[in-house]
Structure 1
Amino acid sequence: MKSLVIPVGILISTISSFGQTSATATVDSRVTVIEPINITKTVDLDFGNVISAYNPGTVVLSPDGSRIANGVQISNTFPGNVSPAEAQVNHGNNKYSITLPDSFSLYSREDPNQTIVIDDFQVSPNTGEIMDILKIGATLNLKANQPAGFYTNTAGFNVTVSYN
């Protein structure tokens, strides 16, 4: 009888070892597709009319549209078009970051060798549930005796928004 018990014991241990070498689980899968983030410029950045001086100076245009002159003068009688830049961001109620350049140059239409640098960009978002309005100000840096004329850069500067 011992000879019959041993083969049955070997057969039982062999079957149980095959059952322990693998297992299967079913995994569900999902995705939520969100709208891509979108930004649209609605207003250009415009410092208005500035009066040159013998010394270098700055004009700070804040996101609320107010201007402060340091070392130069601004014309209250003829302010020109003064406006912070404005852009609409559609973000679908998702968090995002804003990237602006460190600086940007404007060139004289009459003499492209004459430049004015803009830097220290400031952003003030008017937040909504799925859309924000960004107001963007900056600092205009004039050289001493900055030649009069119209300064611009038709290439524009980039305002980049990215989901976090």
Structure 2
Amino acid sequence: MFSLYFHKLTINSLIIPPIKHLVDDLTGLIESGLIFAAFFVILQQIELTMKIHKLFLLTVFLAGFSHFSVAQIGFDANTSAEGSITLGSNLRMEKISDLNFGDIVSQSTGGSVRLNPSDGSVSSVSGNFHLMGSSSAAIFEILGIVGQSFLIAPGSYPTQITLTNDQGNTMTVNSFQIIPLSGSLNNIGSALIRIGGTLNIGANQPAGNYINTTDLTIIVSFQ
């Protein structure tokens, strides 16, 4: 069993930095021993300029432990690359896509936007919003032994995370939906895990660069 958690990322610019900078930062943390293995955590980056709200949840999970055990098998976790982790010789997990709410133009009233984890589409909108651009669910892949069983325990992760900008304004993402919560690897030894959720936007939400201030821990067990 191992845990995945949302790592906090401080962004000092209104412009979302290049992914290379994020990779360099993660590499530095790993080399310094602060993070032992790279995995799928969702780091929130939002650019809100002139009422145009862009939310990008970058799926980069970080595992903050130096040792993992799966069922009766124990082994060390080996960092392989950003967005992936190798668990022993038979299990591997990799990022496929990020959680992306697209571009949202808000009005004077608040509301919410929900993404369907099945296909990443906007499944519901509450409030007077204009949606632009494409959206996508977060997806990561489990690779390992054919028939290997896995379980993500319901209620083992927080119900909400908070996003905050430099002025202390906040938004939240909640009602996370993860599918499937359990299953087994198919005949080629893989399974896809999809994550959706709801973005809550306040009335006259101030522009700014919003990041997560709380961690989202997801525990995956292999049997």
- Normalised TM-score (structure 2): 0.48
Cα pair distance change 1:38/1:162, threshold 3 Å: farther
Corresponding residue for residue 164 of structure 2? 107
Task: Give the deviation of 1:97 after TM superposition.
Answer: 1.5
Q: Please name the residue that 1:133 is paired with.
A: 192
Q: Quick check: 1:70 aligned with 2:126?
A: yes
Q: How many angstroms does 1:87 deviate by?
A: 0.9
Q: Is the 8 A contact 2:161 2:213 kept in 1?
A: no
- Between stretches 48-57 and 132-141, larger displacement belongs to 48-57
Aligned residue identity for 1:140: L
CA RMSD of aligned residues (A): 3.0
> How many correspondences in the alignment?
128
- Long gaps (5+) in structure 1: 1-31
Q: Could you tell me whether the CA contact under 8 Å between 1:123 and 1:137 is conserved in 2?
A: yes
Distance in 2 (CA, whole Å) between partners of 1:97 and 1:112 is: 39
Q: State the distance in 2 between where 1:91 and 1:85 align.
A: 20
Q: Is the 8 A contact 2:164 2:213 kept in 1?
A: no
- The structure with the greater share of residues assigned to strand is 2
Q: Give the share of equivalent positions with the same residue, in percent.
A: 31
Q: Which moved more, 1:39-48 or 1:130-139?
A: 39-48
Task: Summarize the Cα distance change of 1:71–1:120 in structure 2 as closer, same or farther, 3 Å threshold.
Answer: same
Distance 2:213 2:95 in 1: 14
Write the letter of the residue equivalent to 1:74.
H
Distance in 2, matches of 1:160 and 1:112, equals 33
Q: Identify which range, 121-130 or 62-71, moves more after superposition.
A: 121-130
Query: Partner of 1:7 in structure 2?
Result: none
Counterpart of 1:153 in structure 2: which amino acid? Answer: N
**Could you say which residue in structure 2 is the equivalent of 1:89?**
142
Q: Residue 151 and residue 123 in structure 1: after superposition, are their counterparts in 2 closer, same or farther (change >3 A)?
A: same
Structure-2 change in CA distance of 1:154 and 1:117 (3 Å): closer
| 2-structure distance, mates of 1:44, 1:157 | 15
Aligned position for 2:24:
none
The structure having more radius of gyration, on CA atoms, is: 1
Alpha-carbon deviations, 1:115-135, whole Å to 9, x = none? 211111112349634211111
- Within 2, Cα distance between the matches of 1:151 and 1:85? 19
- Structure 2: distance between partners of 1:74 and 1:150: 20
Which whole-Å CA distance do the structure 1 matches of 2:95 and 2:112 have between them? 25
Given that residues 50 and 72 in structure 1 are in contact (C-alpha distance below 8 angstroms), is that contact kept between their aligned partners in structure 2?
no
1:151 CA drift (Å): 2.9
Return the offset for 1:143.
Answer: 1.4
The answer for the alignment partner of 2:222 in structure 1 is: 163
